[in-house]
Structure 1
Amino acid sequence: MTVQRIRSGSPYEPTIGFSRAVRVGDRVLVSGTGPVRPDGSCPTDPGEQARRCIEIIAEALGRAGATLADVVRTGMYLTDVTAAEAVGRVHGELFGPAGPAATMVVVAGLLDPRWVVEIEAEAWL
């Protein structure tokens, strides 16, 4: 079975040793994705952070031949429970039609202290 590794250019990829996404057969796994813009900045609004995470996920999925409609599972990691409504609303807007299994958990912190949310996804083609 062929394995396709998709890099996004994240500065963490070479130091941590990961790929943004990996496609194995009909399965595409997208790593936890933080809300970083190309210039390194990060939105402050939790909903906009979620939207940016999902934009990055969509780009990685596209490079693997998948779309948001192919997503069957997501994981959302929040550092603040009060962000759940905004993050959930964006998740519902962008993933709602696919209806993936989803988990949202509150964690003590994420890699970058500016991040309120990090999202991972799995797609099946």
Structure 2
Amino acid sequence: MPIALSNPPTVHTPGAYSHAVLVTDPKRRLVLSGQVGTAPDGTIAAGGEAQIDQVLANLSAILAAHGMSSANLVKVTAFLTDPALIPAWRTKRGAWQGDHRPASTLLIVAGLADPRFVVEVEAEAVE
């Protein structure tokens, strides 16, 4: 896979992400729209942790539909409406990503497209 994670020693050591991801000659690039806690049947997961689980399931399903997995991610951007969800996001993201550490941004926002949503995640993947 043409992905090289980059964490130069001249900047602080990152946590569960990489400072940069160098993509060299990808065969395919997949840009995933922001995913929220909506299940395939249209129901919205109840509670922040359940929405995080559903978001990760949605992202996994989209990646799988294109023959990819979380190991193909090069950038993840997460939006949370409640800072209290940060520990749950980090734990669940870590379990989902495993040892792979794509570039990552986490934002706390005032709201999302529907007030019932408390988390949204968009991503980019390459092969």
Q: TM-score range by the shorter chain?
A: 0.7 to 0.9
Match of 1:38?
40
**TM-score, structure 2 as length reference:** 0.74
Distance 2:77 2:55 in 1: 12
Give the conservation status (yes or no) of the 8 Å contact 1:72–1:98. no
Instruction: Please point out which of 92, 95, 113 is paired with 2:94.
Output: 92
RMSD of equivalent CA atoms = 1.5
Give the conservation status (yes or no) of the 8 Å contact 2:27–2:126. no
* Unmatched runs of 5 consecutive residues or more in structure 1: 1-23
Based on CA coordinates, which of the two structures has the bigger radius of gyration?
A: 2
Matches within 5 A, 1:54-69: 54-69=56-71
* Unmatched runs of 5 consecutive residues or more in structure 2: 1-25
**TM-score, structure 1 as length reference:** 0.75
Q: Which has the higher helix share?
A: 1
Shift of 1:25: 4.5
Q: Which has the higher contact order (CA 8 A, sep 6+)?
A: 2
Distance 2:27 2:33 in 1: 17
